[in-house]
Amino acid sequence: MVLIGAGRPGDRNYLPLATRRGTSIRNERRMERTPEALREAVEMWEKERPAAELRSLTAVYDCMGLVFACRRTCVELSELKMILHDDEYRRLSEPEEVGIGDIVTYHNEYGVAHVGIVVDIGRHLTTTRSITIMSKWGGDGEYIHPVDHVPGAYGQHVEYWTERKRDL
C-alpha cells in the first residue's frame, strides 16, 4: 500500500517537526522490529564492527531522527540539505575545528548516506586526534564508534558540520 502524503501532516505516523526557520521536516515514526530481528542485528554488527559499542536497540528512529529529532522519528536523508541551511550549520574545513556536539556526514558514491553526532575527541601527544561518533545504524541499534568504523554502505568520506556561532 502506498500512502499519499507519507511523512507529511495528515499521515498518522507524522510528528510535527520543523527547522529553526519554520520549514516542515518530513518524517515518519516506524514500528519496532521484533526482538529476534534486533538481536540478530546486534550479533552481526558485533562481528563486522567490533569497535562499535551498542548504546540503544530500537528501530523506531533512524540516524537523521537521532541527530535532528531527539530519537523520536525517521527523517529522510533528502531533508538534510534543507535542515543544514535552515538551522544555519556551516561546514568545517579542518578536522581540528571539530567539537563535541558537531555532526558528521558520511558520503558514498551516491551522495550523503549517513549522519552522526561527535561525542568525544581524544587528545594524543602527537598531532592526531581520535573522533568518536554516536550514530543510528538504519533499523538496527544506536552505536558509539570511531569515526571510520561504520557499516561499509555508508562510505568513508566524511564532512563535519557545526551550528556553533562565530565570534562577532
Name the DSSP letter for residue 76.
Answer: -
Q: What is the pLDDT of residue 5?
A: 52
Q: Which residues contact 52 (CB under 8 A, 6 or more apart)?
A: 45, 143, 144, 145, 149
Residue 21 lies in a domain: no
- The pLDDT tens digits of the residues spanning 69-121 come to 999 999 999 999 999 999 999 999 988 899 999 999 999 999 999 999 999 99
Residue range of the domain that includes 124: 35-162
- Is 11 inside any structural domain? no
Report if residue 25 sits inside a domain.
no
DSSP string, 1-46: -PPTTTTSTTSTT----B-TT--B---B--PPPPHHHHHHHHHHHH
pLDDT in tens, 14-55: 788 999 999 999 999 888 999 999 999 999 999 999 999 999
The bridge status of strand 90-92 relative to strand 141-146 is: unpaired
For residues 15 and 150, which has the higher predicted lDDT (pLDDT)?
150
Asked if the structure places residue 97 within a domain, the reply is yes
pLDDT at 165: 87
Domain count along the chain:
1
CATH of the domain at 153: 3.90.1720
- Give the Cα separation of 3 and 99 in Å (integer): 40
Answer whether residue 149 is part of any domain: yes
Kindly state whether residue 85 falls inside one of the protein's structural domains: yes
Interval 150-154 mean pLDDT: 95
- Buried b / exposed e along 112-143 (16+ C-beta atoms within 10 A): bbbbbbbeebeeeeeeeeebbbbbbbebbbbb
pLDDT band at 12 (very low <50, low <70, confident <90, very high): low
Is 17 within a domain? no
Nearest to 70 by CA among 109, 24, 16: 16
- For residue 43, being part of any structural domain is answered with yes
Parallel/antiparallel/unpaired status of strands 103-108 and 111-123 = antiparallel
